[in-house]
Every structure is written in structure tokens, then in C-alpha cells.
Amino acid sequence: MAEGKALPASKLCRKYDLTALGFKETSELEDLHEPLGQDRAIQAIRFGIGIRHQGFNLFAFGPPGSGKTEIIHRYLEPEASSLQVPEDWCYVNNFTAPDHPKVLRLPAGKGRELAQQMENLTEEVRVVISAAYESEDYRTRLDVITEQFKLQQEEAFEDLQKKATAKNIAIVRTPMGLALAPSRDGKVIDPEVFSKLPATEQERIKKEISELEGELQAAVRMLPELERKQRQEIKKLNREVTSFAVDHLIDETRERWEDCEEVVTFLDEVQNYVIEHSDVFRLSRDEAVEAIPAKMVADFVRQQDRVISNCQVNVLVSHDAHGGAPVVYEDNPTVENLLGRIEHRSEFGSLVTDFRLIKPGALHRANGGYLILDARRLLLQPYAWETLKRELRSCEIRIESLTQMMSLGNIASLQPETIPLDVKVILIGDPLLYYMLSQNDPDFHNLFKVPVDFDDRLEISHDAVGLYARYIATEARKHKLLPLTRDALETVMERMTRLTGDSERLSNHVRSLSDLLSEADHWATSRGASQIDAQDVKQAIKAHIYRSDRMRERTQEQFQRGTMMLDTSGAKVGQINGLSVLQLGDFAFGRPSRITARIHLGRGRVIDIEREVELGGPLHSKGVLILSNFIAARYSEDKPLSLNASLVFEQSYGGVDGDSASSAELYALLSALADIPIKQSLAVTGSVNQFGEVQAIGGVNEKIEGFFDLCKFRGLTGEQGVMIPESNVKNLMLKDGVLEAAEKGKFHIYPVRSIDEGIEILTGVTAGQPDESGGYPLETVNGRVKTRLEAFANAARKYSRPGNDATKSEAGDDG
């Protein structure tokens, strides 16, 4: 009965035959220019990069290594090159408010041109102003102004001096300033002589001095006003001289930019600023060293440099005039790398900054084009995700540091003028990130309206096989690998199908394919071959597994040495071999486990020992609850289930989750109830529903191979095998050793649809079908289970009679 239901070896693995494609090696195949099996993603990319409305940013998600970034670049770059080149952006000094630098928007490529012109202009200005101050004309006019004001001062005092002389009074200079004193014959009278003069004479002289003192004070008060007027005249002269020297230079630059109003305005401000601060250029640096104290030279030079620097241009972003729109990938999306930053320099122990220290971020570089970011890295950076959303909502770039955002520190900084933002952002991440953001961030769907869903599997068809062969050939040429023979190509395709866990699909995982081809190329090169053959691909697969399977070998060793108890022959009541999968990184392997069931009279409880000791996960507990309800519904529909049962994974010391062992647990329970032994040469996997139908599970290939390896070590007898859900047959891609054993009849794979089918294979006893009254034939499995449960029910009624001490005792135990 069991042998008739075993799958033939041809059903255990899909084999490819590419003979019909008519090639011997991949060098004969054409390149595949379109991504394979990504039609949905490609349509989304084309739509997302084409639509220019706000909020239609893209989130590309798929398994890591599926080639998302490469495919996005493939479609972005042609689209970007066809778009208009965005403007250049520059920051310049705000002469009225230096803490708020102004922004200049210039045609593409013009930013660097303006910066170079301003650098040349300011150096010329420095030279011509110094030359103008050294000219004979300037010195003559300066001397005239000086002499003019000197004459005015002398005239004011000359009138006073005449009046004083006429009255025999002299104007003398003292440490305290100018003073009046009596004189005779042009000489100041000594105080002793003055005291001997007649009283009337003294009074007259004092009165005359008093009258002249008022005029003297008026003359003295006039001096600061004359000096102020002199300075104004000198400043006016300096402005005229400077204007004459620099106007034609700035006018030349202004003519070049007459079509750009912002630049013309900036040049006007520069012109006024240079004229206003022309004094710092009166001396050249060499002259300053000779003319002023050494300790003041550095400050003088710094003042000149500051004036020159304030007139220059900080080119934030400049584009090639014929380069199209930018495509920028930011590998480290911190706040500063996105928004830009304002740097500082140290001066005399303090941190200072200016508009020249504003540095661009990824948003500046990508403005007018496309910005690609890794979603996981973005979310890991503090404030980066919220900052990006804020900029996209406001459609402008506002440069702020983290310290400003968090209101930390008192370092003097700038508040640059904001820049309008027009960028298409493309986030790349895995599906979990996409769905988490969709569910938990209310802004997400308003800003990222275009999901780009990458598939990692391709449905197998005649056309798909041919395209996949070209896909492999393209990858081999792209990475400059040896060509593959047809046999090697078939082996690669078998491996890529195995990676999907589905014999009707091929894997689209670019990294896995690329790694496999590279490793196969290594082994082919090592043996001096000119082609990659099937043996090289198999060696690459074998070596890859060997590097990762130490824990699998250790697990098999425990069974082989008898540390872990598991039978592969004979028959046992209430004992069955279950199968599970362990995942370690990117390597998975199957691990057989002994599952046992014990029963006794009770109150209808099926105890999951794994759950009771908190080793079982919620999915495993769900499977146990389903099987307990299945038993109650099938065998005790009209009476209470008077059963207590316990299920356990023997020698299980770690967590257990998943419901793939629920069918095995049910078989063990039925075996214990019917007192019918289960063949230990078979292992079981599959979940069960409440109607007794066996459902598909994952990791079927690894589970089968895990049990096969143990059976092979102990010796294949022809009775061993694995029972799987029929719905998992399409997932079979078993290794060659299992196929060879199946062809020789040494190992069997049994597909089942229901518990009844499975119990017959495991016990060799008919399951039994219910009659019209719901009963089962007595010698069938179902009949014996029902009979056993009825016996439990009768015993329960007996012990539940009033006054029965035994019932009270058991009830107390169960409680």
C-alpha cells in the first residue's frame, strides 16, 4: 500500500534540458537588456520617475541582493539625461545682515564662472585701489585738503592773536592746553612783576583776558568740527578715487551679467561695500609691514582678506550645462549629509563662520533630479527621517545642524536663505520596512506614493527558460567570467530553482546568481579550463554548503553517536519522527526529532509540554489546539472527551515554533489511542486543519534531506522515507543523493492529502470510513480510537458518580 503511493524519482526534482535552444556555451547567447521577471517593478519605476507632481516619490522594496539599485539606475540615468539641467546655486554675503547669507540662482555651469570672475575682480580691486592711493593726483588733492583745513585753523587763531597782541596779551601753550597771559614787548610778564603792577592796571588786564578767553574757547571748540569736516572731505576723496579705480572693473563684470538681475544687484552691493571699506587698501601688504607696528600688521592683513572674501562667491552646487538632471546616491544619509552643514574655524580661541563655510548636502546636489537613499540607513540616523520629510513637505532646503534642531550649544552660526527644492527621492529597502512605515507613519503615503515591488521569483515557462539562459549569459559577461557550457547552465538553473523552494519557479535573486557564477568560475580557472562546466557549478555549490554546515554536521553527529535518540527502523506506539528546519544566516538544514504522545483518563485536555514550559511558540501552540479539536469533533461529537494527553518533542532544549509538526503530533496521538505502532522508518512533516486535511509547510527539501542523511548513515533498507503534504510536491528540488536512492527504491517520498491517508502509510492499517450512524469498523484505526475514547468516557461516568472518592481525587489532581 505504501509503496504504491511513493513519488517516482522524476517528481522529486525538476531537471532542465536546454538542447532545444541550440547552443553549446553561453558565449553564443545574446545579452538580455531588460530585467527578467520585474514587469511590475519596471512599470512602477517608469511611472514614478516620469510624474513630476509633489509626493510621488518612490519606495523600492524587495529581498536584499535582488538587484534593486542596479535596475533603478538603469532606468533613471536615461530619463535623467533627457531632462533639463538644473540651475547652479551659490551663497553670497549679505552686506546688511552677515548672519543671513543670500542665495543666488544661476544658469547651469555659470556658478563656477561667476566665482572665478569675482575672485579675479577682487584681486584686481586690491591692486588698483592701492595704486590709486599712491598716485600723484591723489596725494596732491589730499595735500590740498590738509592745507585748506590747516589754513582755516590758522586763520581762526590769527584773528585772536592780533586782538591779544593789541592788548599786550599773549596766547601760550601749556600742558593743559592753550592759555592767555599778560605780556610786554612780546614777552609774557612774570607773575611777581604782574603782582607789583597797580591795582587798576591788574584789573584792566584781567578784564581783557576774560573777554579774550571766550573767543579762545570758541576757537578751540571749532577745531573738532574742522577735523570732522576734514575727515569727511578725505573720505569723500577716497570714495571718489576708489570709485574711479574700481567702477570700470565692476562695470565690465556687470555687463556680462546684465541678463541676471540677482547678480547685478549683488555687484551693486559689492561696489558700495568696496568703496565703503577702501581705507583698508591704502597700504599694500609690503607697505604695511614698513609703515605700521609689527603687532598690528596681522590685523591689517586680516581686514584686507575679510573685505576681499566678503565679495566672493561660494558655489554650493554647479552642473555641467549638457549633463542632464543629476542622479545622486547618498550612502551615509545623516542630517548633515542630507541638508549640508555650516563649518567653523578657530580665531583667537573662538569658533567663527561665514557664508564661505556653507557646504552642500545630498539634497542640494540632487536638486532638480533624483536622490537615492537606503531606507534602513536613513532610519538609523538620528532625526534624518523626520528632516527628509520636512524638506519634502516644505519643498525647500533649510540648512540646520543637529545642535540647532535640538537647541544645544551657543556656537555662533548662520541662517542661510532657503533654497527651493524640486527632487524625486527613491528609497530602497526591504518589504518589512515598507509595510512598517505604511502602517505607523501617517506622512509616509503622502510623500512616497509609488511602491516599487521587486519579485525574487520567475514563473517557469518555455519562453522564461530561454530568457533565463540569456540572463545567466549576460551576468557572466558582465562580471568577465568564463563562458558556461549547456550542462553548467542547466545545473545553475536547477540550483536557482532550489533556492526558491518551488520547482515551478526560478530565482531572480541577482546576488545569489552572481555569487554562484563567480565561485564556479574560480573552480574552473583553478583547473585551467576555458569553460565553466557542470562539475564546476556542483563544486561551487558543495563548497558553499561546506563552509556553512558545521552545525548541521554537529547535529547529525549527535544522532549518529546515539546522543540524540531517534529510531529509523521498527515500530513504536505513540512515537513518531517529526521534522523541523533550522535557519543559520543564509543556510538552512533539516533536523529530525522524536515526538511522543501519552494518554490517560482525564477531562479532555491535550497538554503541549513545549508550551507549558514556554519553549513552544504561538504557531506551534495553535497547531496543538487544532489537533485536539479535530479529535473531539471526529470521535466525541455527542459526548465529553474524557482524555488527558501529553505531547512533547523529546530532547528538545530550544524554542519550537511553527505548525509543521501538528500532523506528526496527531499521528502519534492516534497511535497511542488506537494502540497501533507507527513505523519508525518514516518521518513526517505537514500541518493539519480541523477537518483532518494535511496542509503545506516550508523547508520541505531540507527536512527530507535531514532525515535522509541519518538513514543513509545507518544504512538504507528500502523501507525508509518521508511523508509530506501533497501540496508540497511542487516544492521538491531534492539533492542527487536522494534522487539516486529513490530510483533504486531505497528511499521513498509519500504525498498525502489527509490524516487518514497518512495513518494508513504509517501503520499499515486501514483508517476506516464512518457509516451512516457515525461509527467506524472496529479493526480500523478510527474504529479503535473511537472505541478507546468511549471506554474513557464510560470510565469517567463511573468515577463521576456522587460520593465517589476516586473521582474527587482525580478531579482535584486535574484541577
Domain boundary among 548, 563, 584: 548
In a domain, 91, yes or no: no
* 123/799: higher pLDDT: 123
Is 134 a residue whose pLDDT tops 70?
Answer: yes
- Which residues are registered as beta bridge partners of 428? 60, 374
Residues 602 and 652 in one domain: yes
| Residue 6 included in any domain | no
Q: Judging by beta carbons within 10 Å of its beta carbon (0-12, 13-18, 19+), is residue 480 exposed, middle or buried?
A: exposed
Look at residue 50 and tell me if it is in a domain: no
What was the pLDDT predicted at 52?
86
Q: What pLDDT does 677 receive? A: 96
How many other C-beta atoms can be found within 10 angstroms of the C-beta atom of residue 813? 9
pLDDT tens string 6-21 = 999 999 999 999 999 9
Task: Name the least confident of 202-206, 333-337, 418-422.
Answer: 202-206
* Reported confidence tier of residue 149, pLDDT bands at 50, 70, 90: confident
My answer on whether 364 and 449 are in the same domain is yes
Residues 433 and 532 in one domain: no
Residue that has been written with the C-alpha cell 551663497 in this structure? 91
How many structural domains is the chain composed of?
Answer: 4
pLDDT at 422 over 70: yes
Q: Domain of residue 635: give its range.
A: 554-809
Asked if residue 623 and residue 672 are part of one domain, the reply reads: yes
Of 166-175, 389-398, 514-523, the least confident: 166-175
Is the pLDDT at 807 greater than 50? The verdict is no
Average pLDDT over the chain, rounded to whole? 85
CATH of the domain at 505: 1.10.8.60
135 tagged catalytic: no
Strand partners of residue 608 = 647
Residue ending a domain, among 528, 548, 568, is 548
CA-CA distance, 339 to 336, in Å (whole number)?
5
- Mean pLDDT lowest for which of 63-67, 115-119, 642-646? 642-646
- Out of 388, 421, 453, a domain closes at 453
Give me 690's grid cell: 480541523
Q: Which residue has the cell 596766547?
A: 171
Average pLDDT over residues 456-482: 93
Between 177 and 456, where is the model more confident?
456
260 domain residue, yes or no: yes
Same domain, 422 and 495: no
**Is residue 141 scored above 50 in pLDDT?**
yes
Rounded Cα–Cα distance for residues 723 and 701 (Å)? 12
Is 5 a domain residue? no
Q: What span, in angstroms and rounded, lies between the C-alpha atoms of 588 and 699?
A: 8
| 515 and 596 part of one domain | no
pLDDT digits (tens, 9 = 90+) for 71-97: 999 999 999 999 999 999 999 999 999
Q: Please check whether residue 694 is in contact with residue 753, taking contact to mean a CB–CB distance below 8 angstroms.
A: yes
646 is catalytic: no
Q: Tell me if 43 is assigned to some domain.
A: no
CATH value at residue 630? 3.30.230.10
Letter string b/e over residues 244-272, b meaning 16 or more CB atoms within 10 A of that residue's CB: ebbeebbeebbeebeebeebeebbebbbe
Let me know: does 484 contact 496? Beta carbons within 8 Å.
no
Is the pLDDT reported for residue 361 higher than 90?
yes
Q: Cα 700 vs. chain centroid, distance in angstroms?
A: 35
- Judgement on whether residues 530 and 678 belong to the same structural domain of the protein: no
User: Residue 291 has what pLDDT?
Assistant: 53
The CATH number that applies at residue 343 is: 3.40.50.300
In a domain, 44, yes or no: no
Q: What is the pLDDT of residue 720?
A: 95
List pLDDT tens digits, range 745-794.
999 999 999 999 999 999 999 999 988 888 889 899 999 988 888 888 88
The pLDDT score that the predictor gives to residue 238 is 78
Specify whether the CB–CB gap between 531 and 23 falls below 8 A. Answer: no
How confident is the model at residue 600, as a pLDDT?
82
Cβ burial of 653 (10 Å; 0-12, 13-18, 19+) is exposed
Q: Which of 68, 110, 679, 703 is catalytic?
A: 703
Tell me the mean pLDDT in the region 178-196: 68
Task: Convert the pLDDT of each residue in 369-394 to its tens digit.
Answer: 999 999 999 999 999 999 999 999 99
Average pLDDT value for residue range 177-205: 69
Q: What is the mean pLDDT of residues 601-625?
A: 64
Is 742 inside any structural domain? yes
Q: Is the pLDDT of residue 33 over 70?
A: yes
User: Grid coordinates in use for 12?
Assistant: 522529486
Q: Can you tell me the distance from the alpha carbon of 477 to that of 480, in angstroms, rounded to the nearest whole number?
A: 5
Helices 781-799 and 755-763 cross at an angle (nearest 10°) of 100
Q: Any idea which of 166-180, 362-376, 426-440, 553-567 has the lowest mean pLDDT?
A: 166-180
- Sign of the alpha-carbon torsion through 635, 638, 642, 647: positive
Report the pLDDT value the prediction gives residue 439, as an integer from 0 to 100.
94
How far CA 145 is from CA of 225, 271, 626, in Å, comes to 15, 25, 109
Q: What is the pLDDT of residue 799?
A: 76
- Considering only 35-49, 232-246, 272-286, 379-393, which range has the smallest mean pLDDT? 272-286
Give kind and range of the element (H or E) at residue 490.
helix 486-500
Condensed to tens digits (0 to 9), the pLDDT of residues 298-317 reads 666 778 788 889 999 999 99
Residues 437 and 293 in one domain: no
773 & 644 share domain? yes
**Model confidence band, residue 727 (pLDDT cutoffs 50, 70, 90):** very high
Same domain, 272 and 372: no
> Of the listed 660, 663, 681, 687, which one is catalytic?
660
Which pLDDT tens digit goes with each residue over 565-597?
899 999 999 999 999 888 888 889 888 999 998
184 and 235 inside one domain: yes
pLDDT at 348: 74
Same domain, 28 and 129: no
Lowest mean pLDDT among 62-76, 149-163, 361-375: 149-163
> What single letter denotes the amino acid at residue 126?
R
Q: How many CB atoms lie within 10 A of CB 88?
A: 23
